[in-house]
């Protein structure tokens, strides 16, 4: 059987999820984010964006870096917010966003 390999939405990074939902170029993704999805903006041009796709969630990369526990998946909550201006468009929670960008 020749089954096509499909990537699940859970494996995509947040920037790809926006492109998956609405066909846009990733380089222009900052200008094409709907204003109702923006939670807060920083003075350096970064913004915290909420994904409206319920099944697409991840762990905050800053919380993982500061966590001393190797079993972070059991302790950290999954989030649906990210910063598209950061390299890679990583998942980030609101408290870590304020620490890094303000």
Tens-digit pLDDT profile for residues 22-45: 433 334 456 678 888 889 998 888
- The β-bridge partners of 47 are 41
Across the range 72-93, mean pLDDT stands at 87
The answer, yes or no, to whether residue 91 has pLDDT greater than 70, is: yes
- The owner of tokens 């905050």 is 60
Whether 19 contacts 96, CB under 8 Å: no
Residue count of the chain: 102
- What is the sign, positive or negative, of the torsion defined by CA atoms of 17, 22, 97, 31? positive
**Model pLDDT, residue 15:** 59
Percent of the chain with pLDDT over 90: 15
- What is the sign, positive or negative, of the torsion defined by CA atoms of 77, 9, 34, 63? positive
Task: Categorize the per-residue pLDDT at 93 as very low, low, confident or very high, splitting at 50, 70 and 90.
Answer: very high
Task: Categorize the per-residue pLDDT at 95 as very low, low, confident or very high, splitting at 50, 70 and 90.
Answer: very high
Across the range 82-87, mean pLDDT stands at 86
| 14 or 57, higher pLDDT | 57
């Amino acid at each position: 059987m020749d089954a096509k390999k499909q990537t699940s939405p859970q494996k995509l990074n947040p920037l790809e999820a926006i492109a998956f939902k609405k066909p846009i170029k990733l380089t222009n993704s900052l200008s094409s984010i709907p204003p109702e999805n923006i939670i807060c903006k920083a003075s350096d041009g970064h913004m915290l964006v909420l994904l409206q796709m319920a099944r697409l969630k991840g762990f905050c990369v800053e919380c993982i870096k500061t966590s001393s526990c190797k079993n972070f998946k059991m302790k950290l909550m999954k989030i649906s917010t990210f910063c598209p201006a950061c390299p890679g468009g990583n998942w980030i929670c609101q408290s870590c966003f304020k620490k890094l960008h303000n």
